[in-house]
Amino acid sequence: MNRRDDLKRFTYPERLIHWVAGLSFVFLLFTGLAFSHPRLFWITSLVGGGSTARVLHPWMGMLFTGSMAIMFLMWAKEMVIKDRDLMWLKAIKHYAVHDKEKVPPAGKYNAGQKLFFWSMALLGIAYVVSGVPMWLPGGALGMGPFYGGVVNSMRLVHYLSTVAGGGLLIVHVYLGTIAYPGTLRGMLHGTVTRAWAKLHHPLWQKEQSGP
């Protein structure tokens, strides 16, 4: 699969953590959707039934949070927004219609990818902060330390952040697969073609080629 001319885009640990976060997030979205309306509860049968889904959802949430924390430590430095990213954002409408000539050249990540990273990092915090009170309720519902008012307002935060994260994920998956062929390969096998890098991340491609 890999050719001599290909460029290394993601290391094995980067890909492993990305897919742990990706797959756990999809699991969370589907089980969360099942809990959101009685008509959708049938979805839990795909993971072994309602009680199994209820037990697995928060633990999977812990796995997602842990993988996001590692992803954050691995990538935060590369995701710092620079001046050239602001220029890229100004030209985002040209990027959306694949008018490459009018889009300033991107480094390893473009500004859209960087914003996605920071949004998911913030949403990751919102999920865990709002999810734990629902996991450990007190009073009639359980022995935990969190009570009615807090649990209910956290439920709203959890719902709203899920809608935001779910929407962002759809865009992310679309851009990484259908919209830009050759991108998924980097996250599966670790390498991309030089032509792909030159087209989508020209500054990074130049850096990789050396002086």
Report the alpha-carbon distance of residue 174 to residue 15 in Å, rounded. 18
Tell me the HSE value of 61 on the side-chain side, using a 13 A CA sphere: 25
CA angle 41–42–43, rounded 5-degree value: 85
Q: How many residues does the chain have?
A: 211
> What angle separates helix 50-75 from helix 111-135, to the nearest 10 degrees?
140
Indicate the burial class of 119 (C-beta count within 10 angstroms; 0-12, 13-18, 19 or more). middle
Residue 146 engages ligand HEM in binding (rule: CB under 6 A): no
Q: Work out which of 18, 54, 84, 206 binds ligand HEM, going by CB under 6 A.
A: 18
> Which residue in the set 9, 65, 128, 133 belongs to the binding site for ligand HEM (CB under 6 A)?
9
Considering the complex, what minimum distance in angstroms separates the CB of residue 143 from ligand HEM? 31
Residue keyed to tokens 């390969």: 185
Residue 113 is a binding residue for ligand HEM (CB under 6 A): yes
194 binds ligand HEM (CB under 6 A): no
Cβ atoms within 10 Å of 115's Cβ, excluding its own: 17
Which residue type, as a one-letter code, is found at position 5?
Answer: D
- The residue within the footprint of ligand HEM, chosen from 43, 105, 150, 183 (CB under 6 A), is 183
Q: How far is the CB of 140 from ligand HEM (least distance, A)?
A: 34
Site string for ligand HEM, 153-172 (x = CB under 6 A): ----------------x--x
Counting residues that bind ligand HEM (by CB under 6 A) gives: 20
Q: What minimum distance in Å lies between the beta carbon of 177 and ligand HEM?
A: 6
Interface residues with ligand HEM (CB under 6 A)? 9, 18, 21-22, 25-26, 109, 113, 116-117, 120, 169, 172-173, 176-177, 183-184, 186-187
